Amino acid sequence: MAIYENLLLDLQQGILTITINRVDKLNALNIDTIREIRNAMQQVYDDEEVKGAIITGAGPKAFVAGADITEIAELSEVTARSFAERGQDVFAMIERSNKPVIAAVNGFALGGGCELAMACHIRVAAENARFGQPEVNLGLIPGYGGTQRLTQLVGKGKAMELMMTADMVGAQEALQLGLVNHVVPQEQLMAKSVEIMEKIMGKAPLAVGLVIECVNAVFNNDENGYQTEANAFARCCTSEDFVEGTSAFIEKRKANFTGN
């Protein structure tokens, strides 16, 4: 098992909770933390005991308050490109995971933190959460996929405004914009995230993974999303889970899905 300096991992009843643990830095993402998130996501991919993941931040103030500016300040044009691409690759692992990943946003989600939350499939925010892409304040732009995912989630006009003004939005406005799925009191954040995850885990794992694949296809210009959907539908129809699901429906009992 990988050893983590900046993450806390806890596997309980199929849910892997991944906590960014750099409280003194408001959980800012440095290169080591990005690498550790990749390793944690590899465990999500590979470990059959893991049915889904919840990503959150340590402490009461921040989910992730941004990237580590001291590292960015040292980048050249060449190293900056690889820096951005490395983060994009890790966040793409989250987005493409065939197991659900929920962001439990417990405070500031700024810059790389907002990008991390947006890479997750579902976002649950505490009432004190605040979201933003403030990179233009530093003469930068988002580099971990923020220009793409924020536009997908809130639309072109609002994404342009938020990224060009560097304005932050609170949890309720984020909910209205479609940036988050739910807003709850902070003390209920993890319980709500677990509740959603457990509901998903009660469904057919193969079908859940194919929903993720098909929804992601909407935003892939090189992919025919309708064909992806048809192929996924056909795959479901030949699965053991489909046989189990239809049998359970007819027999008026709870389905026992295996993911096959």
User: Which of the residues are catalytic?
Assistant: 115, 135
Q: Say how many C-beta atoms besides its own lie within 10 A of residue 187's C-beta.
A: 9
12 forms bridges with which residues in the sheet? Answer: 15
Give the Cα separation of 164 and 258 in Å (integer): 47
Decide if 118 contacts 137 (C-beta within 8 A): no
* CA distances (Å), origin 251, targets 201, 205, 246, 255: 21, 21, 9, 10
Which helix (H) or strand (E) segment holds residue 45: the answer is: helix 31-46
> 218: helix, coil or strand?
coil
144 CB burial (10 A radius; 0-12, 13-18, 19+): buried
